[in-house]
């Protein structure tokens, strides 16, 4: 190789190295540049109020939704609607929910719902091992499959965080430097002090949004994770339009992609929450 050719190769190598170092920073190879924007500091009270101020703007929600249900060895995709109506009083439990869909051939149907009488879950699909139908009235023994409707209500990211400031306890606020998260841990205990449940809310300090919600059982085992993504503005409120939920022990996952979202719309009425099997009419 000639001297000029060798010089050209060395020049290209040095140029590549310079670009790589510029992209990786001075601390080493392969490091991504930091995310833009400052890390916003919040106290526990201020963070809860910021989340609640956003969520209380959403009173009713109607949306078309693409639903993907995945179980071990099978996967079903259906299109349908997500409809909810929040209670007028924060002390009342959130019960009015309807998530249902049907595939284009009408052979697979999926439902999660709840109303003033109870809550239900259904997956009606050919050859599905999870082809079940459960309705549970409030006050009766719960069924794990029907309780998924209540899990969904807990992780949609539209309800206010109920905190009793007088009687407590306040949630524990943990901070992480990298990635830049705050974690709000809400712990519910029984009268004897034993754990009843725990809910962790992961708040991204740069994006100013909830990225992840996790639910834990009475033994402290994480049984559900819900990631929230693709936030958009509706009626002044930020709302995640992509939600991915995993029930870990059951190996069941549910992905929702919201579109044509309507917030605080008259389209949401009492008739939306009447329980009717195999009926998608709106």
Count Cβ neighbours within 10 Å for each residue of 166-192 and write b for 16 or more, e otherwise: eeeeebebeeeeeebbbbbebeeeeee
* Mean pLDDT on 249-264: 94
* Mean pLDDT on 183-194: 83
Peptide bond into 102 cis (omega under 30): no
Long-range contacts of 133-140 (CB under 8 A, 24+ apart): 133/277, 135/275
* pLDDT score recorded for residue 21: 36
* pLDDT score recorded for residue 63: 96
| Contacts with 153 (C-beta within 8 Å, 6 or more apart), sequence order | 84, 94, 95, 97, 114, 159
* pLDDT score recorded for residue 51: 92
Q: How far apart are CA 267 and CA 83, in angstroms?
A: 9
| Block residue for tokens 């101020």 | 53
* pLDDT score recorded for residue 28: 39
What are 31-63's pLDDT values in tens digits? 444 454 556 666 888 888 999 999 999 999 999
- Is residue 94 within 8 A of residue 86, CB to CB? The reply is yes
* Size (the chain), residues: 282
* Mean pLDDT on 124-144: 67
Question: Which range is least confidently modeled, 89-98, 186-195, 200-209?
Answer: 89-98
For residue 10, pLDDT over 60 is answered with no
Q: How far apart are CA 177 and CA 110, in angstroms?
A: 40
Q: How far apart are CA 255 and CA 243, in angstroms?
A: 6
pLDDT band at 265 (very low <50, low <70, confident <90, very high): very high
For residue 24, pLDDT over 60 is answered with no
Pairing, β 209-216 against β 222-234: antiparallel
* pLDDT score recorded for residue 163: 66
Ramachandran quadrant class, 168 (left: phi over 0; alpha: psi -120 to 50; beta: rest): left
For residue 207, pLDDT over 60 is answered with yes
- Is residue 150 within 8 A of residue 123, CB to CB? The reply is no
Structure token digits, residue 168: 């407590």
20, containing H or E segment: helix 3-24
> Among residues 254, 255, 261, 201, which one has the least CA distance to residue 231?
261
| Block residue for tokens 């999926």 | 110
What are 57-72's pLDDT values in tens digits? 999 999 999 999 898 8
Q: How far apart are CA 269 and CA 282, in angstroms?
A: 10
For residue 128, pLDDT over 90 is answered with no
* pLDDT score recorded for residue 278: 47
């Amino acid at each position: 190789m000639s001297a000029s050719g060798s010089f050209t190769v060395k020049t290209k190598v040095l140029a590549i190295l310079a670009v790589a170092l510029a992209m990786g920073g001075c601390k080493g190879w392969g490091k991504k540049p930091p995310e833009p924007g400052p890390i916003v500091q919040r106290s526990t009270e201020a963070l809860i109020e910021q989340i609640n101020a956003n969520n209380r703007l959403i009173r009713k929600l109607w949306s078309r939704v693409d639903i993907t249900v995945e179980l071990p060895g099978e996967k079903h995709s259906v299109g349908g609607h997500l409809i909810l109506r929040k209670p007028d009083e924060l002390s009342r439990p959130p019960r009015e929910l309807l998530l249902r869909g049907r595939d284009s051939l009408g052979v697979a149907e999926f439902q999660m719902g709840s109303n003033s009488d109870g809550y239900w879950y259904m997956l009606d699909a050919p050859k599905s091992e999870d082809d079940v139908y459960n309705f549970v009235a409030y006050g009766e023994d719960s069924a794990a499959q029907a309780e998924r409707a209540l899990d969904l209500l807990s992780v949609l990211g539209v309800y206010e965080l109920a905190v009793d400031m007088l009687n407590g306890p306040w949630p524990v606020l943990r901070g992480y430097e990298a990635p830049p998260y705050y974690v709000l841990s809400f712990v519910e205990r029984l009268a004897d002090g034993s754990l009843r449940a725990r809910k962790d809310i992961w708040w991204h300090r740069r994006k100013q949004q909830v990225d992840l919600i996790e639910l834990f059982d009475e033994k402290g085992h994480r049984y559900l994770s819900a990631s929230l993504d693709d936030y958009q503005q509706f009626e002044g409120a930020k709302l995640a339009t992509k939600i991915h939920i995993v029930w870990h022990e059951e190996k069941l996952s549910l992905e929702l992609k919201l579109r044509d979202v309507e917030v605080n719309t008259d389209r949401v009425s009492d008739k939306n929450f009447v329980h009717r099997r195999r009926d998608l009419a709106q």
